[in-house]
Amino acid sequence: DAIKIGRRGSLSGTITVTGKQGHVAYPHLADNPVPKLIKVLAALGDHQPDAGTEHFQPTNLEIVSVDVGNPAWNVIPNSASARFNVRYNDTWTAETLKRWIEARLDHARDAGPFEIAYEPSISDVFLTRSDSLIATLSAAIEAETGTAPALSTGGGTSDARFIKDYCPVVEFGLVGKTMHQVDECVTVADLTALSAIYETFLERYFR
């Protein structure tokens, strides 16, 4: 019921606040980084980057983990870190998004010093504009199912982010109701329908 005609970009990073380890009974001899990290994350997460664009959902930033690596109840940790991921639309590039993040974090500088490190595996946002490719696949889907597919850029990243550097690319496949779950599966009927759609598309695209 949907063709992916593009994907949002993906940018990940880690924020680390360093304090001073010590005993909880003597807090004046230590410097707890956890409250400081909370202030930093509040500054980062209290603003919506954008409202979305014609083809893309709003950019969203999600905190995915907060870690101190501290198994003890009576020790103030030396450092605390948080990891985040941003799925961004065509309002941004990776570089402009980094500048936005760092501008937001400037509001938390009074919490104390912290560091931010970005993961090297950045996925750029892209949108396919090949009318012949999209129209032919849409017609093949409607011919086999009677349903006109929606054109979507939602969801996660995929290998299309590499293929788009060499040729126009769209994505269409099985319905993922159980994706990434235990006992992930699809129906045989869906496989049969998908095969028929692919065959019809290939016949129409190369004739």
For the stretch 145-158, pLDDT in tens is 999 999 999 888 88
Positive or negative torsion for Cα 170, 172, 176, 177: positive
Mean pLDDT for 168-181 is 88
Q: How far apart are CA 141 and CA 196, in angstroms?
A: 9
Average pLDDT of the residues in 51-63 = 94
Highest mean pLDDT among 93-97, 111-115, 185-189: 93-97
Whole-structure pTM value: 0.84
**180, pLDDT greater than 90:** no
pLDDT above 80 for 78: yes
Q: Which residues pair with 87 in a beta bridge?
A: 10, 60
Name the pLDDT band for 122 (thresholds 50, 70, 90).
confident
Confidence of residue 47 (pLDDT cuts 50, 70, 90): confident
What is the model's pLDDT at position 154?
87
Tell me the average pLDDT across 37-57. Answer: 90
| Cα 51 from Cα 59, distance rounded (Å) | 7
